[in-house]
Amino acid sequence: LSGLFQKESHIPLPPKKDYDKVRAAIEDALDKDDYDDGSYGPVLVRLAWHASGSYDKASNTGGSNGATMRFDPERKFGANAGLEVARDLLEPIKKKFDWITYADLWTLAGAVAIEAMGGPTIPWRPGRSDKLENEGCPPDGRLPDGDKGAPHLRDIFYRMGFNDQEIVALSGAHALGRCHADRSGWINPWTNAPTTFSNAYFTELRDNKWTKKKWSGPPQYEDPTGTLMMLPTDMVLIWDKKFKPYVMKYAQDEESFFKDFAAAFSRLLELGVPFDEPGKPAPA
């Protein structure tokens, strides 16, 4: 009988899907002194957002499921310029944990990055699959364009199924990272601590003095020092009378921002994902 068991032990076991090991590997890859402000966290958050923000509720197309940004034409969309940095960073982790899908890995990396930079816990669960190249990408133009106004922001985010409060909460991710001239044409960070997740984006919007930058680049706003920036779509959040109360609330109350951001970002990462148990919310 023991011989029988021995024989069975030669059958390869399916890999144990240890997401905590993947989380640890992502955390290990985050910090690098000579990249940007010292962390890949912000660009990983942007990858998770752009992979997910292509969702269209009406047709139930796009979204993080599929990880179609690996393919043309999506990887070449202007909005996705620079995101190869994030995808390339994750490639060795995908190789090491080959059982995880790209779609799960990219969204998990965004969640882990938020948490590692001091943000709230982002409820995340696996279940995304990867599409094949011939299965198609979402059309271009589904992500927001930074030089447009409030109607555009609402068109884009309502299409995904978000409301005004969620638009403002999600925009608070601009506490992180910066604009890169060679990626988007805009320059500079939104806050003075671009590798710390905080409500600083809202306090900057509320308290700083923003004027239109005089330069030949795309329209942007700058603070009196000229080191911080806001996109036109960021300014809209204090110009629009329905958005503004949420800016004021999150500027005053970081805890409510963290709570609302975690809920909205978690939902963003799950848009269009056919989980095994539909309707079951992500574990908190």
Q: Which residues are catalytic?
A: 50, 190
Closest among 267, 186, 196 to 229, alpha carbons compared: 186
> What is the spatial distance between Cα 72 and Cα 43, in angstroms, rounded to a whole number?
20
Please say which residue, 94 or 178, places its beta carbon nearer to ligand ZEM.
178
Min. distance of Cβ 54 from ligand ZEM in angstroms? 12
> What is the spatial distance between Cα 270 and Cα 267, in angstroms, rounded to a whole number?
5
Structure tokens that stand for 246 in this block? 């949420």
Residue pair 210/201 in contact (Cβ under 8 Å)? The answer is: no
Burial class (CB in 10 A: 0-12, 13-18, 19+), 237: buried
Min. distance of Cβ 49 from ligand ZEM in angstroms? 4
> What is the spatial distance between Cα 58 and Cα 47, in angstroms, rounded to a whole number?
23
> What is the spatial distance between Cα 53 and Cα 121, in angstroms, rounded to a whole number?
20
Min. distance of Cβ 190 from ligand ZEM in angstroms? 8
Min. distance of Cβ 43 from ligand ZEM in angstroms? 4
Please say which residue, 113 or 137, places its beta carbon nearer to ligand ZEM.
113
> What is the spatial distance between Cα 113 and Cα 102, in angstroms, rounded to a whole number?
16
**Which residues lie below 8 Å from residue 95, measured CB to CB, with a gap of 6+?**
none
Min. distance of Cβ 144 from ligand ZEM in angstroms? 4
Please say which residue, 131 or 267, places its beta carbon nearer to ligand ZEM.
267
Query: Which H/E stretch holds residue 236?
Result: helix 232-239
> Which residue in the shown chain puts its C-beta closest to ligand ZEM?
177
Residue pair 42/30 in contact (Cβ under 8 Å)? The answer is: no
Min. distance of Cβ 98 from ligand ZEM in angstroms? 27
H-helix segments, 97-209:
102-116, 150-160, 164-171, 200-207
Footprint on this chain of ligand ZEM (rule: CB under 6 A)? 42-43, 45-46, 49, 82, 144, 146, 153, 170-171, 173-174, 176-180, 183-184, 186, 231, 233, 265
Tokens 């699959």 -> residue: 129
Please say which residue, 31 or 135, places its beta carbon nearer to ligand ZEM.
31
> What is the spatial distance between Cα 280 and Cα 46, in angstroms, rounded to a whole number?
26
Please say which residue, 182 or 277, places its beta carbon nearer to ligand ZEM.
182
Please say which residue, 21 or 150, places its beta carbon nearer to ligand ZEM.
150
Residue pair 229/191 in contact (Cβ under 8 Å)? The answer is: no
